[in-house]
Amino acid sequence: MHEVTASILTIGDELLIGQTIDTNSASIAQELNKIGVWVRRRVAIADDKEAILTTLADEAKQSNILIITGGLGPTADDITKPALCEYFRTELIRDEGATTNVENIFKKLGRPLTERNLSQGLVPAACEVLPNGRGTAPGMYFFHENTHYFSLPGVPHEMKGLMQSGVLSKIKSAFDLPAVVHRTLLTAGIGESFLADTVQEFETALPAYIKLAYLPAYGMVRLRLTAKGEDETAVKKEVDEKFSELKSLVKEWMVADEDISIQEAVVKLLKEKKRTVATAESCTGGTIASLITSIVGSSEVFNGGIVSYANEAKKDILEVKNETLTSVGAVSEETVTQMAVGACKKLKTDYAVATSGIMGPDGGTPEKPLGTVWIAVANKEGKVKAQKFNFRFDRGRNVELTVHTALNTLRKFVLEDTESD
C-alpha cells in the first residue's frame, strides 16, 4: 500500500499579508488525515496567475492530490478559474447546473442578478463540477496526468460542505487508503516536559506503527495516539489497548479521554451531574461565559454570567464588601471568594466560578506583580475554594491561561463535591 500525499494551496493576497487567517488549510488537513492521506505541503499563494501556475506544476510533481481554495469569486481579483484554464489548456464554458444554483440563490434572497453574479456559472470545460449547496461558486475537479485536482471556494463554510459532499468520497474511491485510528485525551495542570517524563517508558515501548503526539496549549496538553494499518479492526484493538494504558498513567491530570475542549468537558460533566453554574468575571471579561455558551446544550447548565470589571459592579451586583476592596483590593482571596458566593446567590446556581487578576501590561505592584490572578469556585451551600496563580506572559496569554485554569478548577471542584453521587 503506497502512501497517498496531498498538497493544500490557498490563494489570496489577504492571506499573505495577514489580513485573513487561513483556517481552510487546517480544516482540510484534518479531514485528509482522517482518511489516511498525508499532507505533504501547505502553500499560500498570492492572487497572481504566474504564481498559481508555477505552484500547481511544482506540487503536482510530488503529490497525488492538490486541493486549492480561494479566488473563485465574481470580482476581478478572483483569478483562479482563468489560471486553471491556462494550466489545463481549456476554456470557460457555462454550466447549467451551477448557473441555476446562482439564479435560485438570488431569487431566494430577493436580490437583483447581474452578469457579474452569473459569471459564477462559468467553469473550465475540462473540469467536473462539484455542486455547492452552500454558496454560488461551484467546486471543480480535474484529473490530469495521474494527479487529482480540486478547486474549492475560499469561504470556510462552503469549502467544508464541498469537502464532505464531494472531495472526500472521490479521494476514497480513487485510492486504496490505509485505516487510520486516532485516540486523544486532554490533560491539564501538568507541563509538557513533565508529562513526557511520566509516559517515557510507555512511549519507548510503543510499536513502530503507533505514534504518540504531544499537543500543548496554554495550561493544557493533548496526547494523541495514531496508528495506520490495512486491517482497521486489528489496528483499532491495538490502539484501544495502548490508550487504556496511557490513561492509567496520566489519570491524575486527565480532563477527558476524548478529543474535546475543556469547556466541552465542563459542560458534559455538569449535564451528567445535573448541576448548574454561573460566572463572575473581572480580569477575564466574560471569556469563560463565552466559551461555555459556545457549546451546544450549555443552556441546560449555564444560568448566566456577571462581568464585574469595576469595583462598583463587584459591590453593587455581587455584594462584595466595601471594606474588603478597601483593605485587600480587588485582586485577593477575599474578593474572589465573595464574587463566587455572590454569583451563586444572584443567579441561583449550584456552582459559580470567579476570577480577578492583573493581566498587564501595566497595573502591577511589588506585592501584586503582573500576572497575579485569584480564582475561586463556590457551591450554593457556601463551600468555597480559592487559589492564587502567577502567570508570566502578555495580556492575551494571561487571559487564556486564567480561563483554562478557572474551567479546570471548576471541573475538579464539581467532581469533589459530587463524588458521592
pLDDT for the residue 394? 93
Sequence-distant (≥ 6) Cβ neighbours of residue 221 within 8 angstroms: 186, 187, 188, 190, 191, 192, 195, 214, 215
Residue 2 in this model has a pLDDT that exceeds 80: no
CB burial of residue 192 (10 Å; 0-12, 13-18, 19+):
middle
Separation of alpha carbons 94 and 114, rounded Å: 15
pLDDT digits (tens, 9 = 90+) for 33-43: 989 999 999 99
* Per-domain boundaries in the chain: 5-174, 179-256, 262-417
Q: Where are the alpha helices (DSSP H) in 126-215?
A: 156-162, 168-174, 192-198, 200-204
- Decide yes or no: CATH 3.40.980.10 for domain 5-174: yes
The predicted pLDDT at position 333 comes to: 98
Q: Which CATH number is 262-417 given? A: 3.90.950.20
Query: 28 phi and psi, to 5 degrees?
Result: -65, -45
* Average pLDDT estimate for 355-384: 95
The pLDDT tens digits of the residues spanning 12-32 come to: 999 999 999 999 999 999 999
Q: Which helix (H) or strand (E) holds 213?
A: strand 210-217
Backbone CA torsion sign across 172, 148, 160, 227 = positive
CATH number of 179-256: 3.30.70.2860
pLDDT of residue 406: 98
> What is the per-residue pLDDT across 99-155, written as a single tens digit (0 to 9) for each?
999 999 999 999 999 988 899 999 999 999 999 999 999 999 999 999 999 999 999
Query: In whole angstroms, how far apart are CA 84 and each of 39, 71, 181?
Result: 22, 11, 36
What mean pLDDT is predicted for residues 223-231? 93
pLDDT band for 73, please (50, 70, 90 cuts): confident
Distance CA 354, CA 342 (A): 10
Q: pTM to 2 decimals?
A: 0.83
Q: Please tell me the predicted confidence (pLDDT) of residue 71.
A: 87
